Amino acid sequence: MRHIHIGLYAALMAVSGTAALAAPSTSANPAYVGTWAANPAACKVPQDRQGAPMVLRRKRYDQHEAHCAFKSVRRSSNAWWVSAQCLVEGSKQADRFTLRLKGDTLVMAHGKNAISMKRCR
């Protein structure tokens, strides 16, 4: 099984069973850029703690002990297919996921597992 950030992995597993509007997209800053969390309380968790929000930039994301550099990003309408090289708790790993905007929600999916996040203010 591919390893992903432990907090995100736990959240994805919980979802699968085993408020701000989205920013407009520009060529410099896709609409997914920002700080996102599964609930408003998580927006206040510092990055050095488990449960910290995900900070998405144009070509990377950071969340607690997970740091991913995007090798490629392919856009189609309100979705982005991402191939990334990650460092998760000190281990290098490749990852592929989809980011999809649905109204004021960003959905990050790894295969059939997905987590919904709201933009932090």
Q: Domain segments of the chain: what residues?
A: 6-21+30-119
List b or e across 5-40, with b for residues whose CB sees 16 or more CB atoms inside 10 angstroms.
bebbbebbeeeeeeeeebeeeeeeebbbbbbbbbee
List pLDDT tens digits, range 6-57: 455 434 433 333 333 344 444 568 999 999 999 999 999 999 999 999 999 9
User: 């699968």: which residue's tokens?
Assistant: 16
Q: Which of 25, 26, 47, 16 is nearest to 116 (CA)?
A: 16
Strand, coil or helix: 80: strand
Strand, coil or helix: 120: coil
List pLDDT tens digits, range 87-104: 999 999 999 999 999 878
Q: Tell me, which fold does domain 6-21+30-119 have in CATH?
A: Lipocalin (2.40.128)
